[in-house]
Amino acid sequence: MVYNEPTLLERTVRDFMTEDIEAITVDSEEAFHKLRRAITRFVGTRTASKIKLYNGPTPIFQQFHINEQVIDIFKREVPLPSGGYLCIDETEALIAIDVNTGRGKKPKDQPEAILQTNLEAAEEVARQLRLRNIGGLVVIDFIDMRSQADRENLFKTMRRLVRNDRAKTKVLPLSKLGLMEMTRQREHESLKNTVFDTCPYCKGSGKIQSAMSVSVEIQRRLQEILKSHHQNKKDLEIRITMHPEVLARLKNEDANILLELENKYGKSLSFRADSNMHYEEFRCIDPVTNVEF
């Protein structure tokens, strides 16, 4: 054996164990002994004593509230101790982070409160970058501060917070618009991209067409079919199948439009709901031949 890639357990301890770690809790006796031997060999018994074996009946992630923290990592909003919050949006070009004071705050009259919120935000931003394994260009929109001393304080604080980050990070001073730009070395895919796949329906946009938009598409398609078959088939029937919510829109707000189409072309239109269909999908079928138009 010339080279053997370390296991996930070994890589985790190698990459994340630092002087400020008080303990590493393991729920596997085999992993516990393996880690103790490895750390004793390479670091020493003092550090190896930090490895603790957990034998409790409650699952280890539940015991130490890890499940809740994992869920929080993927949330767009991150609360701050002062009542403010961060909004984190990952895009192709950059990571945008917006700092907000929260409800009921009057930031214009509270420069000290603004500075405090921004300092809390800086600390949480540095933490979230590590937790989410975010890399590339990061732009942070802090709350506007008039004092140059406060702006310099925030800049120095952010530089200090990212100093010990394993990924190489460069921070620029606040711009005149209150934006701080920073770059963080991209070592691997972000945690979000590792855990989640792009939605096959919205393609990652988080948006789908409204019922009104789909209804308009159906109306256009029907007009096209009715015009092209107006002279060919006198007794033409068209059955349109769609999502139930789109059908509700057609039968209520757009019912008169469909009635006008039937009267204008003298054709019979029937509608069916299919809850298994995607919201934006619809089919126009000849019910006699079962052939789709």
Task: Give the burial string for 186-196 (b: 16+ CB within 10 Å, else e).
Answer: eeeebeeeeee
What is the spatial distance between Cα 250 and Cα 272, in angstroms, rounded to a whole number? 11
Q: What integer pLDDT is reported at residue 270 of this predicted model?
A: 87
Please count the other Cβ atoms lying within 10 Å of the Cβ belonging to residue 206. 8
Q: What integer pLDDT is reported at residue 165 of this predicted model?
A: 85
Q: How confident is the model at residue 26 (pLDDT cuts 50, 70, 90)?
A: very high
CATH of the domain at 186: 3.40.630
Identify whether 204 is part of a domain.
no
138/166 same-domain check: yes
Q: What integer pLDDT is reported at residue 104 of this predicted model?
A: 47
108/227 same-domain check: no
Per-residue HEC secondary structure of the chain comes to: CCCCCCCHHHHHHHHHCCCCCCCEEECCHHHHHHHHHHHHHHCCHHHHCCEEECCCCCCHHHHCCHHHHHHHHCCCEEECCCCCEEEEEECCCCEEEEEECCCCCCHHHCHHHHHHHHHHHHHHHHHHHHHCCCCEEEEEECCCCCCHHHHHHHHHHHHHHCCCCCCCEEECCCCCCCEEEEEECCCCCCHHHHHCCCCCCCCCCCCCCCHHHHHHHHHHHHHHHHHHCCCCCCCCEEEEEECHHHHHHHHCCCHHHHHHHHHHHCCEEEEEECCCCCCCCEEEEECCCCEEC
148/83 same-domain check: yes
Q: What is the mean pLDDT of residues 108-128?
A: 87
Does 61 have pLDDT greater than 70?
yes
Does 117 have pLDDT greater than 70?
yes
Give the type of residue at 130. R
235/156 same-domain check: no
90/47 same-domain check: no
Q: What integer pLDDT is reported at residue 118 of this predicted model?
A: 93
Identify whether 200 is part of a domain.
no
Identify whether 275 is part of a domain.
yes
Lowest average pLDDT, out of 16-30, 108-122, 219-233, goes to 219-233
Q: What is the mean pLDDT of residues 102-109?
A: 56
Lowest average pLDDT, out of 11-15, 209-213, 227-231, goes to 227-231
29/114 same-domain check: no
Residue with tokens 């709901």: 273
Q: What is the mean pLDDT of residues 13-38?
A: 85
Identify whether 202 is part of a domain.
no
Identify whether 206 is part of a domain.
no
22/134 same-domain check: no
170/82 same-domain check: yes
> Contact, 194 vs 231, CB < 8 A?
no
In the chain, the number of structural domains is 3
Q: What is the mean pLDDT of residues 70-79?
A: 87
What's the domain range around 273?
211-292
96/186 same-domain check: yes
pLDDT tens figures, 125-148:
999 998 888 889 999 999 998 889
Domain boundary among the residues 138, 166, 195 is at 195
Identify whether 205 is part of a domain.
no
What average pLDDT does the structure give for the chain?
86
CATH of the domain at 270: 3.40.1260.20
Q: What integer pLDDT is reported at residue 200 of this predicted model?
A: 77
pTM of the model as a whole: 0.66
Identify whether 177 is part of a domain.
yes
Q: What is the mean pLDDT of residues 34-41?
A: 85
Q: What integer pLDDT is reported at residue 103 of this predicted model?
A: 62
> Contact, 186 vs 136, CB < 8 A?
yes
pLDDT tens figures, 234-271:
677 888 999 999 999 888 888 888 888 888 877 788 88
Identify whether 136 is part of a domain.
yes
51/75 same-domain check: no
42/18 same-domain check: yes
165/80 same-domain check: yes
